Structure formats: C-alpha cells, structure tokens
Chain A
Amino acid sequence: MNTQKIIELISMILEKQGKSCNSLTAESALRDIQFRSLDFSELCLRVEQELGRELNFTAENLRNMQKVSDICNFISGASK
C-alpha cells in the first residue's frame, strides 16, 4: 500500500471525525492533526480490509510514531 493511499485514508478518517485535514502531508505531526488512538485503530482495520489480511500492528510500534510518514513507512513495510 503506497504512501498516497495511506494519507488518503488518514484524511478520510479525520474528515469523518470533523477534524481539519487541509494541510495534511507526510510530515504532519500526529499530535497536531489530532490523530488519536481510536483513529489509529480505525486506520489499522481499514488497511487490513484493503489488503485482505491481518498485519502485525502493536501498541508498541504505534507508540513510537510521531509523524504521518512514520505510519506510512510502517504500513508499507508491514504490507510487503
């Protein structure tokens, strides 16, 4: 799953929650865009649905992520 697709999913999740995503880029800080635990959980589930399989998302992996690019890199790596 490529970076563009993941950013689109994050944008969709934020928009659905009424959060602003106009300036969303790979360098956006997760704290600044208010991307929280439930948003993470939803993203993980949507990625797994897209790929048709479970990925090894762990709380420890996600705790270390600070930016959108961290998520994209992790998902891209995990989905290979």
Chain B
Amino acid sequence: MEIHPENRLLFPAKTITWSELLKCIDNDLSKFTKKKYAVVSDSDEKLLAYVAAFFKKNYRGLVTHSDNFNENLREQLLQQGFSIIKIVGAEQEFISSQTVSKNDENIYILTSGTTGIPKIIPHTWTSLFSLRSMRHSIPHQRWLLTYLPGTYAWYQMVTMGMFIKGQDLICAERFTPEQIFIAGIEHQATSISSTPSFWRYLLLLLDQKQLRSLPLKQITLGGEPVDQNILDQIRDIYPASKITHIYASTEMGASIVVNDGKEGFPAAWLENSGTNSTKIKIINDQLHILSKHSATNLSDWYNTEDIVEIVNNRVRILGREESGIANIGGQKVSLVHIQRIILGNPMVAWVGIVVKKSPITGHIITAQIVLKKNIMPEGNIEKILTDYCKEKKLNDWMIPRIWSILDKIPLTKNMKSKL
C-alpha cells in the first residue's frame, strides 16, 4: 500500500493533495519522539494529516474529534501508552504517557459500542483497507465524508482516499446532514457513504429537485440496520445510482456487502460461506462472522450478538439482543421489526422505538416519530398510527402505546439515530 500523493482532499476553503497535507505537519512531527499517539482536534484537516503521518512514519495511534474528548478518555489513553496531541483552535497541548506500551503496528479505533463506554479497538492498515481487492476496479470518484473522524466508517473512506488512485474526499467540516450535503453540491460529489438516518433526515428537509442536484453515481449505506423502505426511497430519487449497503462493525470490519437493492442479505451466503473475505453463520438466531477485516485481537468466529431472521430466503438483521430485543410481558419483541413496519406508513419520515418500564407487563413500547413534510393528519395521530400497526398485523404488545411527535430527527454526530 502507498498513499496516492495526488488524490485530493476538498475542504470548504481549499483543496489540497495528500502530499501537501503531509508537508504541513512535518514540523509538528519532528518535535515528537514517541511512537504511539492519540490526536485530538476540532480540525478534520489536522486529523487527516496525522492519519497520513501515522502511515508514512509507521506510528501507532488513533485520532478523534475534540468533542469526544473528556477526562475519562484522557486517563484511559495515557494508561494505555498513548501520548496525547491536542490541537483545538490555535491551542496545542502535548501530554506524554509514562506507560511503556508494547510494540505493535496498530491503528486504533475508538468506539462507544452499545454501552456508551469508549473501547479502543486495534486494527492494522490491512484490516482497515477493506476495499484493497477492488482497488484497480473502482472508477475515479469524489466521496462526501459524512462520518465522524476516527470511527471505523470514517477510516473506510479515508483509506480509500489514501490508497486507491483517483478517490478524492470532500471534507465538509460541518455537522448537520444538510450542511454536509451542501458541501457535496459545492464540490460536485459523485458518491456518498452514510447512514439510513442521514438520508431520512435529508429526505425530510430537501425536496427531490434539491437532492437530484447532485447526480450521485454511488450511494453506500451502513452503520445502522438498512430497511427496504429507505432503499426504495433512495432508489426513487436516484434511479441511476449504484446503491450498496454494508454490514460492518468496528470489531469485525466491513463484513457483508449487498448490491442487489434488497434489505438483508441472501440466505445462500450462509451455505456458500459468504464471500471471499467473510464467512457467516447463525447460531441460536445470532449472527456470527469470521472476517479478514477484523480487529487484530479477533481472529476467530465472532458473535455479533445481532439477532437475525430468515424471511423469503433473505437474512434480516433485527437488532442486538441486549438493546434491540425487548421483553414485553414475557414476549420477545424486535424493535427493528416494529420500526420497519411503522416506517412503511407514508406519513412517517423517521421512528425511534423506546422501551419504557411499566408495572404488570414490565415494559411497554413507545415511539418517537417525525412526520414527513406537509403532512396534516386527519384525526388523532396516535389512533391513526395504532390502527396502521394493527392493519399490518403487529401484535398488541408490539404496538407503541405512546407516540411522541418530534420536529426533527435526533442524530448523533456520527449520523446515527440517537435512539
């Protein structure tokens, strides 16, 4: 692998190549003698520069946006041998770790996973560069970067921009989906990789004409369960685009790649042991993966803890056992299944399912919804949606009992639904 020096990074105020980016921090790096760093910054440009430097100089480390940085993380990083370079605005701070770290070749990914407590997952450049086998067949593209710096999904885009010729990256340095999309229009993005929630948010705010002002060739979805509803909505706007959805995790990497326009993946992939780089099996309704793109400390079959079901020869992912499956009065309920049904209602732009504690049944299902633009329901919206759920044969204990109407979709900075 080598960095293609003329691939470009398109920022709001300037366009720069990787070779120019590296030159900008040569002076910074000459000051440091440690080999393992955590770089914390509010500047995408700085974070990208340090990622390139990690590769060129064979440093080990991680990068993260300064919004993610707090005292707990600071202590965790120092204890694990990361010296911290903090660049926020015009201020720079260097904190040397006194811990002797073991020699390794890892690039580290910070993830909160399902617990909200940061985990540091070791990868290599090889495991992060999951598109390596396709590097000669990907046409020139301008990718709009939507993910938070330092996350696994961000590295998927960045390694493409670094190692595959002709892949430019548009770095919006803005946080809302509409601001990011505008940056894409300004730089004429040809491709976007983001979450279903990112697209639901955009579909709510922008009309078809505005969305089509960007004639996208490639749309990739991941980071959250991808349902047929969102695939169909995106296809409707971009009939000529290639639409891909990917099942990935920080631990397992990009494991399952689907291009056929349908949710889930073919059940035949279980029998044929998946793809060249991934093997898939189901044990006790849970998805297990053996992947070549996994973190360095995971070399065996990995239980994703995602519950799956097979419907019409498609394997559909229903959600995590501990967060995606609820117990309502003794009945197991998939929150993703409920979400999928409700999203089929033409009035609904987004729904978040929230399980609340309650007496007798233990828990009940409630929902937060965002209605599509210009929707004026005739009658009580809770009754309308309750009746809809009954028409779709949702069992009583699965139908949300309280419906809260939100003005906009609550998104994290990594473009995932906050619920």
Q: B-contacting residues of A (Cβ < 8 Å)?
A: 15-18, 37-38, 40-42, 44-46, 49, 57-59, 61-62
Contacts and interface: CB of A to CB of B under 8 A. Distances in A.
12 contacts: A16-B383, A18-B390, A37-B361, A38-B329, A40-B359, A40-B360, A41-B360, A42-B358, A44-B359, A46-B402, A58-B359, A59-B360
Contacts of B383: 15-16
B329 A18 contact: no
B356 A37 contact: no
A59 B356 CA distance: 16
B361 A38 contact: yes
Contacts of B329: 37-38
A40 to B, nearest CB: 5
Interface residues of B, number: 18
Contacts of A61: 359
Contacts of B382: 16
A45 B358 contact: yes
B15 interface: no
Main SS class of interface, B: mixed
A61 B360 CA distance: 10
A71 to B, nearest CB: 12
Nearest to A57: B359
B387 A44 contact: no
A33 B236 CA distance: 46
B135 interface: no
A38 to B, nearest CB: 6
A63 B364 CA distance: 18
B235 to A, nearest CB: 35
B401 A41 contact: yes
Contact of A38 (B380, B387, B390, B401): B401
Interface in B358-407: 358-361, 364, 366, 380, 382-383, 386-387, 390, 396-397, 401-402
A17 B402 contact: no
Nearest to B363: A41
Contacts of B401: 38, 41-42, 45
